[in-house]
């Protein structure tokens, strides 16, 4: 079998594939971290919408891998009040795939990294805290 034939029937991971990886990554996170995220909704889209790209001052559709929207612990009470939308993390499939294709990490590692960082920054965690969470997750795999 030639090298080209290996790729003949291979398809890019779908939205559902990325969502599966995101939920698996979330489930593998330490319980103390997951407990901060009670009610968190994880959503996967191909790209951020135009308003989000403008709000985040992105120069290209590929600049944003993920985004947290909601009220985290760093902003005070994290629990939804009447009429408040749930805390949500968006993961953007095409930018994630582009980032993955240019790097050495596995796709599940990239998805986990984006997920942890989107949640972590909005819950007031430092980069060192988030790296520790990712290392703990890696060690339990």
What local confidence, expressed as pLDDT, does residue 73 receive? 62
The predicted-structure confidence for 30-40, as pLDDT tens digits, reads as follows: 888 788 787 88
CATH architecture of 12-72+84-139: 2-Layer Sandwich (3.30)
Is the pLDDT at 14 greater than 60? The verdict is yes
43 phi and psi angles, rounded to 5 deg: -130, 140
User: Please, which residues bridge with residue 43 across strands?
Assistant: 90
The predicted-structure confidence for 46-102, as pLDDT tens digits, reads as follows: 999 999 999 999 999 999 999 998 876 655 554 545 567 788 999 999 999 999 999
Does residue 141 or residue 13 have the better pLDDT?
13
Domain ranges of the chain: 12-72+84-139
The predicted-structure confidence for 93-125, as pLDDT tens digits, reads as follows: 999 999 999 999 999 999 999 999 998 877 777
3-state secondary structure 73-128: HHHCCCCCCCCCCCCEEEEEHHHHHHHHHCCCCCHHHHHHHHHHHHHHHHCCCCHH
Does residue 21 or residue 79 have the better pLDDT?
21
Q: Provide mean pLDDT across the span 9-16.
A: 92
């Amino acid at each position: 079998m030639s090298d080209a034939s290996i790729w003949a029937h291979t398809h890019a991971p779908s939205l559902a594939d990325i969502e599966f990886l995101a939920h698996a990554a979330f489930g593998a996170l330490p319980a103390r971290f997951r407990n901060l995220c009670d009610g968190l909704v994880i959503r996967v889209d191909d790209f951020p919408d135009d308003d989000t790209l403008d709000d985040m001052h992105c120069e290209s559709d590929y600049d944003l891998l993920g985004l947290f929207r909601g009220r985290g612990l760093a902003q005070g009470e994290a629990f939804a009040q009447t009429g408040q939308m749930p805390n949500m993390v968006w993961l953007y499939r095409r930018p994630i795939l582009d980032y993955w294709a240019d790097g050495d990490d596995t796709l599940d590692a990239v998805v986990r990294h984006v997920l942890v960082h989107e949640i972590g920054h909005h819950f007031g965690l430092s980069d060192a805290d988030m790296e520790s969470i990712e290392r703990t997750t890696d060690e339990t795999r």
